[in-house]
Amino acid sequence: MVTALIFIAILALIILAHEWGHFWAARRSGIRVEEFGFGFPPRLLAWKKNDTVFSLNLIPLGGFVKIFGEEGNETKGDPESFAAQSVGRRAKIITAGVIMNVLLAFILLSFVQGLGVPSAFEGALPAGAQNPIITIVEVVQNSPAGISGLKVGDGIVEMRSKDAVFKTAEVISESATLDKFHDFVQAHAGEELLLAVKRGGTIFTTTAIPRISHPTNEGALGIAMVKTALIKNPWYLAPWEGLKMTGQLIVTFSIAIVNIFKEAFTTGKLTESLTGPVGIIKITAQTVSLGFVFLLQLVAILSINIALINILPFPALDGGRLLFLGVEKVRGRPLKKETERWVNTAGFFLLILLMIFITIKDIHRIF
């Protein structure tokens, strides 16, 4: 229940930031905004300010902006109408939502950089880094680690056998590699090890017995791991690091989206990595257990993903509306509103079908 509420809050924040972008850009352009809604109808509460109705609605999954003249050309003679604006000004209003999502991600990632973000590193411990630890990035099913309840994101603080102790922080500070970790595990293969594990802000203990023989590339415990440490940036560098991280995520996710479409067109199948609301709720639950900084990163990642998906040139998305504006610019006149509505409706239903399909896959994968 708590996870579902956090998921709804995250989704509401991201979508409201997107809609606020449209609202702000429209008002800045002198266009009347008829309604800014928090959530979706039925309406629970409403008040009016500066010719705009602000409403609180029952379904708390984001929000909407109703801009005067957006639905047709009958208001084209009114200077406060969306339809009366130039193609360039309308394009700015349409893209403002995407820009606001990217800005939200940048702000959150700047906070993350200032608060301190657990970062993977190779070689020696970076100067100023704190809390070095070995972090699990993959757990093989039915391996000793999997059986003992270890999860991705867990940090191994300490390992104890009957006659020896391995302290992660000390070894990371002294060694540039993880060889000593592997040597310790291998030396105690077949023996029960007591593991102190950090998950989020808590430390718990569990036991695991490293395998004497194991499949290739799985290791005795069945985990993949990296060295991580908490790296903080001073306040004057945090925005710059947040900006770099935002840019890196945009590039990474853009490439991933291109690859998804490439795979879909070449193989006729959607990649297994695609996830919908059910999968995101599971990811949210895992992220909450890791701590507040990880939750901020998740919100930033989702905000960038929504921005990139929204800008795709597909009907019913902002990118589709931009595509219609491009056609209008080339033709010298807009498409018929009936045609535009029909195409957007068809695109909307296709998106709903895709979401249902992905959700079913999520349910099969999780349960």
How many angstroms separate the CA atoms of 124 and 133, rounded? 13
Give the residue from 154, 132, 148 showing the smallest Cα distance to 200: 154
How many angstroms separate the CA atoms of 308 and 139, rounded? 30
How many angstroms separate the CA atoms of 238 and 102, rounded? 16
How many angstroms separate the CA atoms of 264 and 119, rounded? 33
- Active-site annotation holder among 19, 70, 241, 340: 19
How many angstroms separate the CA atoms of 109 and 92, rounded? 25
How many angstroms separate the CA atoms of 180 and 226, rounded? 13
Residue 70 bears catalytic tag: no
Q: What is the DSSP string of 262-287?
A: HHHHHHS---TT---HHHHHHHHHHH
How many angstroms separate the CA atoms of 343 and 363, rounded? 30
Q: What is the DSSP string of 207-251?
A: EE---SS--TTTTTT-EEEEEEEEE---TTTHHHHHHHHHHHHHH
DSSP helix, strand, coil percent of the chain (3-state; round to 5): 50, 20, 30
Give the residue from 91, 87, 52, 92 showing the smallest Cα distance to 68: 52
Strands annotated E in the chain: 33-49, 52-67, 117-121, 130-139, 155-160, 165-167, 193-199, 202-208, 223-231
Any idea which residues carry the catalytic annotation? 19
